[in-house]
Amino acid sequence: MPEGWRWHIFKNPQGRLLRFGTVAPKDSVPDAVVIGLQGLGEFTEKYFEVARTLLDHNLSFWMLDWQGQGKSHRHLKNTQKRHSSSFDEDITDLHYFLMEYVKHSAVHPDVGRIPLVMLAHSMGGNIGLRYLKDHPDMFSCAAFTAPMIGIRAFQHLPNRITLPLLASLNEVMNQGYVEFGGKEWNPQMRMHKRNDIHTSDPIRKEVHNAWCLHDPALQVGNITYGWLYQAQRSCAKLQKSTFLNDIKTPFLLALAGQEKLVDNPVARKLVSNLPCARLLELPEAKHEILMERDPVRNAFFQAFFEFLQKNNIKEKLKPF
């Protein structure tokens, strides 16, 4: 845990409890407040190293546990099932979190309002991109690692086929596990060599399981048909021809060359001509770019810090 880290719990307008954590530079006014948007099944503790990296560059870090994971509200009686009623709920939670907590804190008497920067991974990237369209003036800029603009398992199927199919399955098996014999969390979900698709770093790949073993309250099992249907619905919204064109916030989009979970081709296609977007290809990276080996991870952060400077966030770029 970074020095000065603080945990908080709040109740959203629907009465559900959500947890977030925050940390700020100890002896200086931060150049920006970075809002981390975590991926599917993740939790804030997993991002402590990211928080330290940002602190070293005079940036504050805040992260919210989405409903259904971390230590926020779980949707079902079986808290292991990663379920969803709608990604719209996550967008609403994010906006409430920003308006009620972050914006009030991102002000300093000597410098005025401190800019907000989004740093989103995978599922968090899906939610984050949709948020930028709905709320164009909230963030000064944003960065995405392996954003879930599309799901790789469906990359060769058009939405006119996948959405009705998933809608039918959702109607019948909404709260059921997607995988046949789907199960609750266990270490083999990430340790088996066949599933070594998250990171090539031998130490960082152990962090997720280490936290889940240390604190079982962080564990999440397989996804439900309800989650999968809502995820594909949200991806379909992003893939509409004009959706991303309406985003005006400058953003950096990093793609992992060894990707097995999200649809890289559709992401490239949709952002290639956007004036506000910069595409960063990381050929050696697996899905969790922020948890990758130092050469890959550092390449992303170097691009990220340069992107902040280009967007007038940092006056002096500290070498990384």
Summarised one tens digit per residue, pLDDT across range 101-124 is 999 999 988 888 999 999 999 999
The answer on pLDDT for 316 being more than 80 is no
Instruction: For residues 255 and 189, give the distance between their C-alpha atoms in angstroms, rounded to a whole number.
Output: 23
- Whose CA is closest to 202, among 188, 189, 191? 191
Instruction: For residues 182 and 189, give the distance between their C-alpha atoms in angstroms, rounded to a whole number.
Output: 11
- Whose CA is closest to 25, among 118, 153, 114? 114
pLDDT of residue 193: 65
pLDDT of residue 73: 98
pLDDT of residue 194: 65
pLDDT of residue 312: 84
- CB-based contacts of 137: which residues, under 8 Å, 6+ apart? none
Q: What is the mean pLDDT of residues 162-177?
A: 95
Instruction: For residues 19 and 64, give the distance between their C-alpha atoms in angstroms, rounded to a whole number.
Output: 6
Domain range 6-310, CATH class: alpha beta
| Spans of all domains in the chain | 6-310
Q: Please give the angle made by the CA atoms of 193, 257 and 269, to the nearest 5 degrees.
A: 135
Q: What is the pTM assigned to this prediction?
A: 0.96
| Mean of pLDDT over the chain | 94
Radius of gyration of the chain (CA): 19
Round to the nearest angstrom and report the end-to-end CA distance of the chain.
22
pLDDT of residue 319: 59
pLDDT of residue 172: 93
Surface-to-core class of residue 194, CB atoms within 10 Å of its CB (0-12 exposed, 13-18 middle, 19+ buried): exposed
Query: Which tens digits make up the pLDDT trace of 182-218?
Result: 789 999 888 766 668 999 999 999 999 999 999 999 9
pLDDT of residue 179: 78
Query: Which tens digits make up the pLDDT trace of 124-147?
Result: 999 999 999 999 999 999 999 999
Q: Please give the angle made by the CA atoms of 169, 122 and 223, to the nearest 5 degrees.
A: 30
Q: What percent of the chain has pLDDT over 70?
A: 97
Angle, helices 123-134 vs 225-239, to 10°: value is 50
Q: What is the mean pLDDT of residues 81-99?
A: 97
Query: Which tens digits make up the pLDDT trace of 221-230?
Result: 999 999 999 9
Neighbours of 5 (CB within 10 A): 16
